[in-house]
Amino acid sequence: MTNSDTVELADGRASLVVSPREGAAIVRYDALRPGRAPTPLIKPSTGLLKFGSQLLIPWSNRISGGGFEFDGRFHPLEPNVEGEPFPLHGDGFQRPWRLTRRSGTEMELVLENGAIGPYRYHASIHYALEDGALSAVLAIENRAAIRLPYGLGFHPWFPRRPRTSLQASAQRVWLEDERHLPKGVVPLASRPHWDFSHAAPLPAPGSTTPSKAGMGAPRSSSRMTLLSSRSRHRCR
C-alpha cells in the first residue's frame, strides 16, 4: 500500500489512518504521547478482516439458508468470500469508497454503488478525532426498488495487553454454533462471567466467549467513544 492509498487525521493526542480503497477501513488508530512511540488502540490483524477496523454493510455476520425471506419474498444470496460457506458481512468492506470531505481532524467517505444480492444502496462513513477520542458514524440509504432489512456494524481489532479490561453494556447474549451461526439468545444474567457492566479483565485466551452481546467498545486507559450507526430506508 502506497501513501496515496491512505488518509490520515491527527489532533495532537491521537492519529487515525484510513484506506478509502480498502472499504474505508481503519488501518491504524494510535494514541500520541510526547516523547513516546505511538500506542496502538486499534491495529491490523491477519486473515480476511486484516485491517484495524472494517465496515460491515449492508449486513453483519453470516446469512445461512442460501438467502433470506422478507415481505413474503425469498432473496437468494451467494457466498462472497473465498473459503466461506455463507455470505459474510456484505460487500462494503470489499469495495473502494470515495473521499468527499476532509479536514485535519475529520473525514467523510461514501460508497455510491453498493450492490450485493437484492441490495442497492448508498452509504457514508464519518470519522472524527476530538481530544484523542475517535467517533465513527455509518449511514446507509436503500436505493433498491423494494423494502429490505439492513444491518450496519464495525469490526475492530483491539490490542490485548495484560492490563486490558472491557466495559460494555448488554442485556442479552447471542450464542453461536461451530459454524459461527446463532443458535439462541439468553439473558446476560444467565452468564454472569460475561457481565462487563463494570470494567473487568477479559476471559483467558481460548475460553468460551459469547458470539455477540450488543456490547460497546473495549477500552484500556485510553478513551474511545462508542462507535455508532444509523440507517435510512427509501424505495424508489
146 CA to centre of own chain: 26
| Closest-CA residue to 15 (of 235, 222, 230, 154) | 222
Q: What is the DSSP string of 176-199?
A: E-TTS-EEEEEEGGG-GGG--SS-
Cell numbers at 172, concatenated: 442479552
Distance CA 81, CA 88 (A): 7
pLDDT of residue 92: 97
Residue 192, amino acid: P
Distance CA 149, CA 105 (A): 33
pLDDT of residue 71: 97
| Closest-CA residue to 165 (of 196, 200, 135, 192) | 200
The ranges assigned to domains in the chain are 3-162+222-232, 165-217
pLDDT of residue 41: 92
| Closest-CA residue to 94 (of 137, 64, 123) | 123
Which residue ranges in the chain fall short of pLDDT 70?
Answer: 1-4, 205-236
pLDDT of residue 133: 94
Class of domain 3-162+222-232: mainly beta
Distance CA 111, CA 28 (A): 21
Q: Mean pLDDT of all residues in the chain?
A: 86
Torsion angle (degrees, nearest 10) of CA 95, 15, 59, 114: -30
Q: What is the DSSP string of 36-50?
A: SPPEEEE---SSSS-
